Structure 1
Amino acid sequence: MAYFDFFRNNIENKRWDTDCIRGSCYEMCPQAEKKLREKEKLVHVLEVVGSTRQLVKSYSRSAADSNIAIPGHLRPFPVLKETIHYLLLRVTKRTDVTVSCIYDFINDRLRAIRQDMTVQRLAPDECMQLLEPMIRFYVYFGFRQVHKILCTSPLSEFDPVLNRKYLLECMKWFLSCCNDMMTRDNELTELISNWTINNADHRLICDRVLVESLYLLCNLGDMHPLYRYLSLRPDMKRAPLLRLAYKMAIANLHGNFVKLCRLSEKLCPLTYCAFYLHLPTIQRRGVSVLCQAYSSRQGRVPASAIARWLALRSDECAASLCRHYGLTTHPDHSVQFMKADFKTDVHPTELRATASIRGVSVLCQAYSSRQGRVPASAIARWLALRSDACAASICQHYGLTTHPDDSVQFMKADFKTDVHPMKQDVYVPDKIKIPIQDILTYRSDDGMIY
């Protein structure tokens, strides 16, 4: 049973304030676990700070012969809150390990926190304060890791499906707590205002407007978040960020990709991270619509217009995207749309990074020869690359020989199978290029939205 389902059962039975187990561990890691992990040499590298060790309770599945409901092993709410603060605002500053290592460590420790929350049956208001920072974490690192995978890293380092599962679990739990608080008190404004802490020193806060906005943007195409928005209080629906997210959800529902991409320019950093994961699919749908609207053997559409409509940063990116879906581009930076040319079997997230390694590998099998050469222009066209130089560079990256006449010699034996896909030019807006501590602590109304 998921934490959220277990929590809902407690809420329905009104059991969060009766017969509850209260934790008595006032450290981030129980003493028994500390001794065991130090003895078995299970201390994580991120738990070593200089010459000291700062252990954080790790997640462990409940077994038939184990008891996880021991007060001395459970951390009360204040300790859980400080633990989240430590994980998200201090551990994330570490630069001596990879981002994947940081993500795996924090994710495991956050699962342990949710386990403690469930066993103790914390009150809804306390759960909300703990879940909101977790939601920020999963949204931001979901974007960061998926973007990294599209550029350089193998998929085995990060599971976006599992990350989304944890995100939705935390999000639904948070919103369920909101509903319960509204039912009990009929007003949440005063409570949330008490959670708003001056974040000049990077203190975590609880921002319901931000979570409601993320719920809309993480589930574009789903009707339930739209129904939820319509049921919110009028003052909350008037919040700029939430209203913007609602307009984007409606634009997506209507298939208006131009309006959707234009509105995305106003998003704050974290909500843009949530929207970014939908962008390849939106762009694919946009190119498909343009093929229907502008299909002609004589007419052409400027790449600059396509870049503006589909939230692309340059004409070259627009032309490259269209080539990726099988369309013809011309030297004057224009695109010829033909319904028959559009490739319906190309996956939107198969951006050049992972596609290139497979493509070059296939070409090595097909054109392996000591005499024959393949023009770089043909390779660029086949792999949806923006120039002949880019095609030659990728082939060199995988160990193949290039020649001054912009041709490539393919040899099976030369192909390097042990190198990562070459990093491609994937656009990241400047609004996301800010310290993670700022993204995890800003308020939705602090002026960072527009």
Structure 2
Amino acid sequence: MRRGPAPLSRYVAVAIAATVAVAMSIGGLVTDHVIRAEQYGAVDDFLVSSVDRPLPSPDDQPPDDAPAPSPEGAIGAFTSRVTGDIVISIVSPDGEVLTPEDGLVIPEPPAGTSDGDLRTVTIDGERFRVISTTTEWGAAIQIGRNLNEADATVASIRRWLLLVGIGASVVACVLGWWWSRRIARPIVSLTDTADRIADRGEVDGGDEPVAPALTIAEVERLRSSFVSMLDALGASQERQRQLVADASHELRTPLTVLRTNAELARSERLSPDDRARALGLIVAEVDELSNLTDELVELASDHRRVEPDVVIDVVALVEAIADRATARSDRQVDVVAPPSLQWRCQPGRIDRAVWNLVDNALKFSPPDTPIELRLDRNTVEVRDHGMGISPTDRERVFERFHRSDEARAMRGSGLGLAIVAQVAADHGGTARADEPGIGRGAVVGFSIAD
């Protein structure tokens, strides 16, 4: 059975402990090297100072030409000048090896050894630091000092460093585990929230907190982004619910009319003219349903994934819409715009929004009045010369399926201006409806971000 991934706290604790252990190991190695060098340096200084002193010579004679001192006497005279845990070997000019009584014999120096050279040798299982030199009277002298004391000091420091390193690693591991759990707490809470949403299929979590706030910038940013995402998802879900509810309500009327006219058309008692009239109503309602479906799809689609932003000459787009409106309605549509204006937008959606504005103006203004389509830096406005929009309806004119009392007598879904508002919002702008004056028409338009 495959194990799941380890928790973040374990990774962080192990990583911190390993980092501290490596740092302590490097520090311990450096400290060990320095202490060892100091201890061995002290031994070396002692040996060098010992051979730098005037050494006794067998040729040194008393005043009455007494015989030269014996080898043992020479060794004794020398050792009396050098104190400490040392060993001495003297090789006389005639090759005789002289050592103190019961003393250890130092191995002969390797070939090529010069005066004052230091080396480490092992004698009877113990380590000694040895210096070699030659006297004026031709004798070779080797002085060695036991390294037990220096090695014991270094070993003691090593033990302390090991204990301190282990203790520091354990403390770092515990602190790392505690701190990582504190860091991971909001992440775990976010994960629980995501799991809860996946199980419920609902974004709204009620009064349950998403995650505790923290002062850690990255984690707090993640928490804030997650909360913002949930808010956006919740709002989107609510809009979808409202859209479905409104659509189901609006679909009932044309479906009822379709059913009624279909039943009438099936009746054998209808005259050919009545049957033709009923079939005509069915076709009209089907067209109405088709338009309603297109507008619902427009509102429900995520156009940011379907149509990319491109740079276009919006003046050419607006003039093409004006020509199309004139051809369909035989109405005058005047365009007031600069010679050229570049917009970065989704051309298909801008076309749909501007057409909805023009179509709305054509629908709610007398047939013998012109329509003005004005284009500015980042704004499109359409003005008609009808009765205008009442203050009450002006506040709700961009809501989905909202229709004024005057509009209820006309065909339409009440989604045209809602699409305009959504297109504007998706382009970073807003939609608005202004009132030039009572009975002087209406100005409806939208803007996009600069």
- TM-score with structure 1 setting the length: 0.23
Higher helix residue share? 1
Give me the TM-score of the superposition, normalised by structure 2: 0.23
Structure with max Cα Rg:
2
